[in-house]
Structure 1
Amino acid sequence: MSKQAAAIPYASVDLSVGGPGGLLILAEQADGLTFWQSSSRETIVFRGGYLNSTRGLQRNLLSNRLTSGGEDIQPWGLAADQPVIYRVERSWENTGGQPQAGRAQATFACNDELESVELPLTTLDLSRCTETLEWDSGKTTRSVLWRHPDTNRIWAGDAVAWPGGPQVTWQVARPWW
């Protein structure tokens, strides 16, 4: 993957959904969102490097809203000195393509110690952050994000967006910022 990423001069991410994956190139940027499209037209959308939605997959993340006190937030962009608590509202498709929805109480907490993370084109010392979602259904999902300690930009992630959803992993190869 490193050789392929180095040969492409465009913003790219190494991404997999529920198993095998590949290198995706930035297709578009708008209003803090980045759109990444595969050769078979599956689309992954990130907001600030955080998984926001998908299209064209067997099961899609349709919508994603994170709020605190009724205001939209981006917990990865906040200070890491204490956990951030917020609400998550998401909708997705089940394996039959039927829309589902859920709400969760979320906690976003980052480790103080930095970890050396090998990315496709570089190795960075990043902070490991865990997002724990306690769903109203009684289920729990956890995702791990690695963010830069100075900029709070997400460089890698390993996420399950809803209970029973596919595991989505990504690493920034060539940044878009």
Structure 2
Amino acid sequence: MSLTACAQGQLSPLGETLLGKQPARDLEERAEALPYASLVAKQQGNRALLIMAHRTGEHGRDTYWQAGDHATLHLRDGLPLSTAGFEEVLLGRWQSAGDAPQHYRVHAHWQDRHGLEWQDVAQATLDCEPPEPVEMPLTRITLERCTERLDWQGSNTSSRGVFWRQPGTRWIWGGDMTLWPKGQRLQWQVARPWWSDAENTASEAEQMTLLNDDASP
């Protein structure tokens, strides 16, 4: 996946930032000025501001983030699931259960710049550190730093990714990950979040209802 995606026609300022066509602007100031949910992303030295274009799925778990040239990043539960409009494309990245919550499998399906499709599966180990204050583009917040170690079976390689998670809610505020074996690293941070305290309260109420149902005779 590359941030040198091809675009047609004249680029908006957002697309120009994504493609590195102009000197870097202050993306944090731009994110603060816009009333939309946004991410600051970085890859191969290029930084971009991505705006949330769509939200769907159960509890709004799927979010779609778009740059000015229509390059798109799809997050599920705050982690990359797929991309579109790049030279190399993530077609899917998902987890399946292992023998413990900290041990699971990561599946990756991607397309290289020549149009060839590839798949691989990794054994994953997750280790989260105690929460500490972290600087995000528009705020300072206490987060857990979680390290995901991946041993890819098909390519016989290893990689390591990091994401920052809010305790309790488990909202993910950012990450620094290789999305498939030997792929380019993608870094992103939430500038303006798309969730709300009301959503968290509703989620906690739902979990409590499930627990009460399970406890009923």
**Alignment TM class, shorter chain as reference:** 0.7 to 0.9
Higher RCO (CA < 8 A, seq sep 6+): 1
Of the two, which has the highest radius of gyration?
A: 2
Aligned partners of 2:145 and 2:163 also within 8 Å: yes
Residue in 2 aligned with 1:37? 66
Residue in 2 aligned with 1:6? 32
Of the three residues 83, 86, 89, the one matched with 1:60 is 89
Aligned partners of 1:141 and 1:161 also within 8 Å: no
Residue in 2 aligned with 1:164? 182
For 2:95 and 2:159, the matched residues in 1 are separated by 15
Question: Which deviates further from its counterpart, 92-101 or 45-54?
Answer: 92-101
2:62 is equivalent to residue 27 of structure 1: no
Secondary structure at the residue paired with 1:6?
helix
For 1:69 and 1:125, the matched residues in 2 are separated by 29
The alignment-based identity, stated in percent, is 42
Aligned partners of 2:93 and 2:179 also within 8 Å: no
The structure with the greater share of residues assigned to strand is 1
Aligned partners of 1:11 and 1:25 also within 8 Å: yes
Aligned partners of 2:137 and 2:190 also within 8 Å: yes
Secondary structure at the residue paired with 2:164?
strand
Structure 1 residue identity aligned to 2:65: W
What is the CA deviation profile of residues 108-153 of structure 1, one whole-angstrom value per residue up to 9, with x for unaligned ones?
11012x2321111101111100111100032011110001112111
For 2:38 and 2:128, the matched residues in 1 are separated by 25
2:145 is equivalent to residue 119 of structure 1: no
2:106 is equivalent to residue 88 of structure 1: yes
Secondary structure at the residue paired with 1:4?
helix
Flag structure 2 segments of 5+ consecutive residues without an equivalent.
1-26, 196-217
Structure 2 residue identity aligned to 1:12: S
Structure 2 residue identity aligned to 1:116: P
Structure 1 residue identity aligned to 2:85: G
What is the CA deviation profile of residues 65-124 of structure 1, one whole-angstrom value per residue up to 9, with x for unaligned ones?
211159xxxxxxxxxxx8611111111112322111101111111012x23211111011
Flag structure 1 segments of 5+ consecutive residues without an equivalent.
71-81
Structure 1 residue identity aligned to 2:114: G
Of the three residues 156, 169, 181, the one matched with 1:138 is 156
Normalised to the residue count of structure 1, the TM-score between the two structures is: 0.88
Residue in 2 aligned with 1:98? 116
